[in-house]
Chain A
Amino acid sequence: MTAAAPAAPRRSSRFALGKVERRNLRWGLLFISPWLIGFLIFGILPILYTFYLSLTRYSGLADPDFIGVQNYGRMVGDPLFWKAASVTLYYTLLAVPLGVVVSMVLAMAMNQKVREVTLYRAIFYLPSILPVFAISFVFVVFLNPGYGLVNWLLTAAGLPSPNWLGDPNYTVISLVMIAQLGAGQWALVFLAGLRGIPTELYESAEIDGAGAWRKFKSITLPLMTPVILYDIIIGLSFGLQVFTSAYILTGGGSRGAAGPDNSLLTFVYYVYKQAFQFGAMGYAATLSVVLFIASLVLAGAVFRWARGWVFYAGEEA
């Protein structure tokens, strides 16, 4: 199935293409041309343009005014930039690992002898395809200290009843909760991974007297590490982009602070405010450049870190 196409060693030089190959190249490029053109127009061009705009003062109306690296200097001294960066990192560091644990626990439970698994699958998966903006509106009501279900339950259980959206210590927790409703999608990805682990491995481990924890630690976890890494990388990318839930929870449109004490000022939210509420397109482009570089650096760091723990089958065979 995964066997690679056999190499074609017929041609002597890689530039001398036969008639059929030249015809195939033409048709191949023609078929993928929508993507190629889109990649240039909606990918490469705006990225280069972002770098250029980051060096200008630009309101979007008059022509961009080249000012060198002044925007970058301004950024270093901008407390809201640091606030937005820390809110986003804090959110990502909470949401991503929690998401991995929730998805893993649900997947492992679904991988047991539960015949009604299709029902669980549907219930866990469905929230992950519902619009985040609608879910965020629901959470405004769901988490309301007076009229929400969560605080009613907490009070009934004799627990403290936090003001989720009014207390800056809890606002990001609310975002993390909304993000967990997407965990069902990953639970299914994990479940597919778990089902791919040969049962013989567990059987022979049992014969050797391994307990449940030992089997999890020595078989399940190592074989799931590639999927976990995939989840972390995608989660990281999405986490750094979080916007919609923060926008809705803070009532959006207003030009004031993003939630109490700007505690919901995520990075993309700050880019949005600078570009589209304050008309500082140049400075917003500077922030975008930082987001771009931070995404690449963090993804690279995760891949590097993962080398120590990701297990690829075949590596040690």
Chain B
Amino acid sequence: MATVEAARPLATTAPGGRRLQRFVTTSILPRIVLIFGCLVFIAPFYWMVITALKSTAESVAFPPTLIPQAWAWQNFIDAVNFIPFGLYALNSLTITLGATIGAVLSNTLIAYGFSRIRWPGRNKIFYLCVATIFLPYPVVLVALFDIFSKLPSFGIQGGSSWVNTFLPLIVPAFFGNPFYIFLMRQFMMGIPRELSDAAKVDGASELQSFWHVILPLTKPAVTVIAILAAVAAWNEFLLPLLYLQENEKYPLAVGLAFFTSEHDVAFNLLMAAATLIVLPVIVIFILAQRYFIEGITVGGVKG
């Protein structure tokens, strides 16, 4: 890095004209860009909520109204009743919960093995693990489907194989995810070594040291992983589309897609359903904004 000559005065003595110009370029111009950007990013969601609150006739009126003439809050109740929303939401919740538990359990264990124990070849295997982030997972869709269709489900959800059960959506989460492993390992590397050493002197095994010493210290990182994994499971579309074949088992993602392709769902009810689906994610984001941002800045440091 370039070293700076300390003695040089900073350019604070610029004449008034330049100061004005600087004010425009560092304060006014960026705000114009940012506010315009915000309007563009918000517009689709504004339209979603506004359409959800229009009467059916108004939602297909031409030209469209920018604000509902009458606020049809009833649409949310109608949407939930017309689309089997509660059933789909329950399935979504079950899958999300299972996948989140799997992600938290597996990634903390794996990251511990990659960060708190020194063993020969550790870093090489870790790099291999991280490299798999770049594997496009649709490549294995067909083969994995065929493999899962041959695995016995032992009667879970009445299936004879893993197909048409939640198993393919939940079980893989128990085997770690390279991105979460990376995140958790970064975090665990920052915990002083002396803590584990002290525990070992006291005769703790690796499992005890993991459970009693390290895990309690990683709560922030566990929260990040739990949140990211839960949101990812809630948002997942392709896997439930492939594996689930009965209306009773659909999560919201697939349920809504099939329901709209089989029934005529009016735009206002469709948007009411969409609003209800994105709402939990928005609420979680507002409550846990810090953890999302942490997830990004750790994950995105170096290419």
Residues of chain A touching chain B, judged by Cβ–Cβ distance below 8 Å, are 1, 5, 14, 17, 21, 24-25, 27-32, 34-35, 37-39, 41-43, 45-47, 49-50, 53, 60, 105-106, 108-110, 112-114, 120-127, 129-135, 137-142, 144, 146-149, 152, 155, 181, 184-185, 188-189, 192-193, 198, 200-201, 203-204, 206-207, 212, 226-227, 229-230, 233-234, 237, 240-241, 243-244, 247-248, 251-254, 268, 271-272, 275-276, 281, 284-285, 288-289, 291-292, 295, 299, 313, 317
Contacts and interface: CB of A to CB of B under 8 A. Distances in A.
Contacts of B231: 129
B106 to A, nearest CB: 5
B303 interface: yes
Contacts of B98: none
Contacts of A46: 140, 143-144, 147
Contacts of A120: 34, 37-38
A42 B175 contact: yes
Contact of A49 (B143, B241, B270): B143
B118 interface: yes
Given A134-B256, A247-B241, A285-B142, 10 more contacts: A31-B210, A32-B113, A32-B114, A110-B30, A130-B278, A149-B64, A192-B301, A253-B261, A292-B136, A299-B134
Nearest to B11: A206
Interface residues of B, number: 106
Nearest to A58: B146
B220 interface: no
Contacts of B149: 60
B109 interface: yes
B125 interface: yes
Given A35-B181, A152-B64, A237-B134, A201 B2 contact: yes
B118 A47 contact: no
Nearest to B50: A149
A226 B44 contact: no
A253 B258 contact: yes
Nearest to B48: A138
Contacts of A28: 113-114, 117-119, 122
A250 B146 CA distance: 26
A49 B145 CA distance: 11
Nearest to A49: B143
Nearest to A138: B48
B229 to A, nearest CB: 12
Contact of A134 (B110, B129, B278): B278
A185 B296 contact: yes
B271 interface: yes
Contacts of A130: 235, 278, 281-282
A250 B213 CA distance: 52
> Would you list the 6 A-B pairs with minimal beta carbon distance, nearest first?
A38-B175, A31-B113, A230-B303, A28-B119, A189-B300, A131-B235
B253 A29 contact: no
B47 A141 contact: yes
Nearest to A40: B175
A15 B134 CA distance: 32
Given A24-B117, A129-B281, A141-B51, A268 B8 contact: no
B38 to A, nearest CB: 5
B30 A271 contact: no
Contact of A147 (B62, B110, B119, B181): B62
18 contacts: A27-B117, A28-B114, A31-B110, A34-B109, A34-B175, A35-B176, A42-B140, A49-B146, A109-B31, A120-B38, A131-B277, A137-B274, A244-B238, A248-B257, A271-B141, A275-B141, A288-B139, A291-B138
B120 A237 contact: no
Contacts of A226: 302-303
